[in-house]
Amino acid sequence: MPNDDAEVLISERHGAVQVLRMNRPAKLNALNTALTQALHDELRRADEDDDVRAVVLAGEGRSFCAGADTAEFAGLTPADNQAVIRRAELTTKTQAMLQRMRKPIVSVVQGHALGGGAGLAIGCDMLVAAENASFGYPELRHSLVPAIVMTGLQRQLGRKLAFELISTGRRLTAAELAENGLANRVTPVDRAFGTAMEIATRWAEVNPLAMSATKDLFYRVADLPFDQAMRTGGDINAIMRGFAGAGG
């Protein structure tokens, strides 16, 4: 895709790695309907493409994503309830897709990652934070509820700190993201994307069937009782014997 502001999402292939760049830099890549729909569609397309083995999610300009584009809220009112429902469903599907994808995905967070943008950042399987990253949930300051992104936050962060973030608007620095297990790497701004590409390239070298099964099992066992999780792991352990050499 050409790199211009008419394209709300830039999608590029680098070998077996699909790179998606949110492209509304003047709006700090705020999520309007067009960008959210494009992101949903490109994630699905990448997941269905057998030539894609890993995905990198980044933002153009000086921020990753500043959250929902509040300029759209004027049209999302009880007067058009169907529009409100459609927008909520689209946001929910897009946020949930990151962990449901078969392909591993890493986010590159520089500048703001707020609200829905924070949800996208930590919804990915790994996260690279540039040193200027600023991560938080400012919704309550705008009389909004961080509803859709709350599930991911509470599952990945201790409850006390998670509640502090959503109730006070406190923002975490890149160092704090790493300290609290939300970021895998912290790098200078000019090295963040390259670091994410290194991670994705290593993923792309792995047997895709084994990678898909590993990701699926990782998230499934997190929600299962211990005994059931162990049985599920045992089932996958038996199945994986058929992966040797397949699609490698």
pLDDT in tens, 37-51: 999 999 999 999 999
The CATH number for 42's domain is 3.90.226.10
Domain-embedded: residue 63: yes
Q: Are residues 134 and 236 in the same domain?
A: no
Domain-embedded: residue 109: yes
Alpha-helical (H) ranges within the chain are 33-48, 81-100, 116-123, 147-156, 159-168, 174-179, 192-204, 208-222, 226-239
- Per mean pLDDT, which range of 107-116, 176-185, 212-221 is the poorest? 212-221
Q: Are residues 143 and 233 in the same domain?
A: no
pLDDT in tens, 67-88: 999 887 665 556 657 777 888 8
Question: What is the model's pTM?
Answer: 0.88
Q: Are residues 190 and 177 in the same domain?
A: yes
Would the pLDDT of 4 be above 50?
Answer: no
Q: Are residues 97 and 152 in the same domain?
A: yes
Q: Are residues 59 and 15 in the same domain?
A: yes
How remote is the C-alpha of 163 from its chain's centroid? 20
Domain span holding position 145 = 9-204
Considering its fold, how many domains does the chain have in total?
Answer: 2
Q: What is the mean pLDDT of the chain?
A: 89
Domain-embedded: residue 1: no
- Yes or no: say if 122 and 182 are a contact pair by the CB < 8 Å rule: yes
Q: Are residues 180 and 236 in the same domain?
A: no
Q: Are residues 218 and 196 in the same domain?
A: no
Domain-embedded: residue 248: no
Q: Are residues 58 and 165 in the same domain?
A: yes
d(CA 6, CA 49): 25
- Per mean pLDDT, which range of 9-13, 62-66, 94-98, 138-142 is the poorest? 138-142
- Yes or no: say if 20 and 39 are a contact pair by the CB < 8 Å rule: yes
Residue 75: per-residue pLDDT: 59
Confidence of residue 106 (pLDDT cuts 50, 70, 90): very high
Q: Are residues 103 and 127 in the same domain?
A: yes
Q: Are residues 174 and 157 in the same domain?
A: yes
- Yes or no: say if 196 and 128 are a contact pair by the CB < 8 Å rule: yes
Would the pLDDT of 1 be above 90?
Answer: no
**Which tokens is 226 given?**
């211990």
Domain-embedded: residue 4: no
Confidence of residue 142 (pLDDT cuts 50, 70, 90): confident
Domain-embedded: residue 192: yes
Q: Are residues 224 and 109 in the same domain?
A: no
Domain-embedded: residue 2: no
State how far the alpha carbon of 112 is from the alpha carbons of 65, 90, 192, in Å.
6, 22, 14
